[in-house]
Every structure is written in C-alpha cells, then in structure tokens.
Amino acid sequence: MRILLLILLGLAGCAGYKTYNQTTTGKVDFRGGIYQKESWQDVLTFKRMSWYHGMTLYYDAMFYHADPASPFSNWFSATEKEYFTKCEKLLVTVTYSADPSKISHVNFREQMKLNGYDDVVITNFASFLRNHPAASDWRTVGYKFMGYCKRAPTRLGTSNLAINFPSFRHLEIKL
C-alpha cells in the first residue's frame, strides 16, 4: 500500500511540474567551418533563449552577433556583407515555434523591433549554416533563419537584448 501511495505522489508531482511556464538560457556552439578552399576551427557561438510550458518547448531562439573579423563572415554574400557597414549590430537568429497560436515568429519579430532591430535577409549565410554538421546535431530542420540589423537606438535603454512573451518570465542576454 505504501509503495502505491509513493507512486501516486510521484505521479502527482510530475503532473504538477508540467503545468507552468518556464524559460531557460544557454549557448550553442558550431565548431569549424569551410568556405571554398579555406577551412577553420573557430567556434560560432549562439546565445540561446527557450520558452517552455512544463516540458513542452513553445519557442526557441538562438542569437549570433555577426563579426566581420570572424572567418564565418565568409559565408555572407557581398550584399549581405553591406549590413556590417549599415548596422550598429548584425544578428543572425535561428528560431523555432512549436505552436504559433502560443508564441509565433511574428511575436518574436515584434520583440526584436522593440529592441531596435529590423529583419534583413541573409539567405547565403543561412544556407551555409543549414549545411553545417552541427545543424543536424541541433536538429534545426524546422527552424527559421533570419538576420536582424540594429539601426535605431534601443527603446529599452540597454545594450542587452530583452525578450518578453506574455505569461513568461522576462529574458535578457548580453550580446
């Protein structure tokens, strides 16, 4: 009888765990790269923000502050490299929405605008990133690849990137 009671208490605890919203931050590394005849061992590090309901991932966002001095900048086309001169900061984002009725890419883009970023096309860079061996390790098949250019000062008055979705804790990362 005691064993049954312990099992029921354990199950009730697990069921309670799945009934709240939570957020996490972290990082994702893509090691090494190739462009034509050149290869390198540098690391492309994405900062990561994730939004969960219990154990279900609602939205996932990874951010890379593009650096023109990095060998990974070879992946940008000539047109995309113009963003380095036109933008205060150029971010590459890799985002996933499990249920757009909960948190959508449109909600994310609105949050980026509040931080002073406009979305830009980075098709060439995105195709190199999609084909990187780490992309399959991180299972980025259902993810959307975008660029964001910071042209305007941040409305929030901070250099950090802040994302705030309804009913979730406010998240902030330093880029």
In which domain, by residue range, is 102 found?
21-173
Q: Cα 73 from chain centroid?
A: 18
| pLDDT, position 121 | 95
| pLDDT, position 10 | 59
Residue whose token pair is 């060998």: 71
Determine the residue type at 134.
A
| pLDDT, position 175 | 82
Instruction: Report DSSP state, residue 99.
Output: -
Domain count, the chain: 1
CA angle 153-155-158, nearest 5°?
Answer: 80
Can you tell me the distance from the alpha carbon of 145 to that of 1, in angstroms, rounded to the nearest whole number? 54
pLDDT, averaged per 10 consecutive residues of the chain (175 residues), comes to 61 57 92 93 95 93 96 96 94 95 95 94 94 76 91 64 93 89
| pLDDT, position 153 | 60
Can you tell me the distance from the alpha carbon of 55 to that of 23, in angstroms, rounded to the nearest whole number? 11
Residue whose token pair is 């042209």: 151
Cα–Cα separations (whole angstroms), residue 125 to 5, 9, 67, 118 = 56, 50, 13, 17
| pLDDT, position 70 | 96
- Domain contains 66: yes
- Domain contains 9: no
Helix (H) or strand (E) holding 11: helix 2-17
* Tally of helices (H runs) and strands (E runs) in the chain: 6, 8
Is the separation of the CB atoms in 146 and 90 below 8 Å? no
- Domain contains 70: yes
- Domain contains 36: yes
Is the separation of the CB atoms in 125 and 149 below 8 Å? no
| pLDDT, position 59 | 96
